[in-house]
Amino acid sequence: MIHLSRESPWGPLEVFDAHVHFFSHTFLEKIVAQKSGLTLDAAAGQLGWQMPPESPEQFAAIWVQELDRYGIAGAALMSSIPGEQSSVLAAVQAFPQRFLPFAMVNPREWNSTPLEGIRVACLFPAMHRYSMRDAHVQPVFDWAEQGGRAVFVHCGVLSVGIRGKLGLKSPFDMTFSNPLDLQAVAQEHPNVPFIVPHFGAGFFREALMLADLCPNVYFDTSSSNQWMKYHESHLDLRQIFKRALDVVGPARLLFGTDSSFFPRGWHHAIFDDQSKALYEIGLSAHDAKLIFGHNLLRIIPPA
């Protein structure tokens, strides 16, 4: 493992980001193909993005430089559209000590989805419009249990900014977004870590209930957590962390940024805001090490 460290309120801290979207050239090709007449160059211009190189290995090297710039030991790289996982795997194979391979999957296409080498299957039930209790989702849990893998499940509000900027429709269905839909499957598969990002993204109460009942449920802290605007006016990041720590403790929180595109690169402001909030509520240096990297590497150790 590469032992880079980032300055924090607790001093130098080894950070392994649990939530980074790779957004490779393949991802952009697949997104652009969804709109007639749209080209890659036009899409990059509309988005204000730096076009990723065609080679995922070259793009991975850019990400390594970015992580080095901020003193970040590594990151979980997520493919963000079904079919992009080969790019993520190529990146991980090029830098196996720096990245962990996560892949978005649609359970309805499970039998035709190659996942050899993937460590975490990422489910977006609102995006692909299915219930976690549907029979065709069961093979995902079996795959995770049989291979010592994990399952990431996006719950709550789902907004994909790139789709809006490119004028693509987002026919998502939030009736499939309740974290409580995970309770039965998490209890049936107690050896599988289930990762719920953004503290449930608006279903914070339900996410806390789920995690209280299921010790194999973890929270990913990523993004700016703007879903807090749906809750009581006094709720802020410090209160979110305090409540989460009261329910699940420091061993089930996974720091993440939700970083994605260049030229923004690694979203250091998320780290600054979250580390400041945790320090202000009195988190110890030992527990900071758990949250900012050790927990993720414990449940999904690098190959």
Confidence of residue 246 (pLDDT cuts 50, 70, 90): very high
Asked whether the predicted pLDDT for residue 205 surpasses 90, the reply is yes
- Write out the two tokens for 290: 């758990």
* pLDDT at residue 158 tops 70: yes
Nearest partner of 60 among 84, 88, 87, 91, judged by Cα: 91
In this predicted structure, the answer to whether residue 62 has a pLDDT above a threshold of 90 is: yes
Query: Positive or negative CA dihedral for 77, 109, 160, 201?
Result: negative
Question: What are residue 253's phi and psi, to 5 degrees?
Answer: -110, 135
Give the sheet arrangement for strand 253-254, strand by strand.
16-21, 74-79, 99-104, 120-123, 150-153, 194-197, 217-220, 253-254
End-to-end CA gap in the chain: 10
Q: What is the pLDDT of residues 2-49, one digit of tens each?
A: 679 999 999 999 999 999 999 999 999 999 999 999 999 999 899 999
Query: Taking Cα atoms as reference points, which of 48, 23, 28, 49 lies closest to residue 39?
Result: 28
What ranges make up the beta strands (E) of 64-136?
A: 74-79, 99-104, 120-123
Q: Mean pLDDT for the chain?
A: 95
Does residue 55 carry a pLDDT above 90? yes
Residues in contact with 31: Cβ distance below 8 Å, sequence separation at least 6, in sequence order: 43, 81, 162, 163, 166, 168
Mean pLDDT of 92-105: 97
Quick check: 260 and 225 in contact, CB under 8 A? no
**What is d(CA 244, CA 253) in angstroms, rounded to the nearest whole number?**
8
The model's confidence at residue 112, banded by pLDDT at 50, 70 and 90, is confident
**CA distances to 164, 200, 206, 220, 289 from 203, in Å:** 23, 5, 5, 14, 27
**What local confidence, expressed as pLDDT, does residue 2 receive?**
65
**Per-domain residue ranges of the chain:** 13-299
Residue 58 has pLDDT above 70, yes or no: yes
What is the structure's pLDDT at 111?
Answer: 87
Q: Give the three-class secondary structure for 13.
A: strand
Query: DSSP letters of 206-226?
Result: HHHHHHHH-TTEEEE--S--G
Look-up of token digits 């995902």: 140
CATH of 13-299, one of 3.30.2010.30, 3.20.20.140, 3.40.50.720, 3.40.50.300: 3.20.20.140
pLDDT of residue 1: 55
Residues 266-278: pLDDT tens digits?
A: 999 999 999 999 9
Angle subtended by helix axes 25-32 and 56-70, to nearest 10? 120
**Upstream peptide bond of 263 is cis (omega within 30 degrees of 0):** yes
Query: What whole-number percentage of the chain has pLDDT above 90?
Result: 91
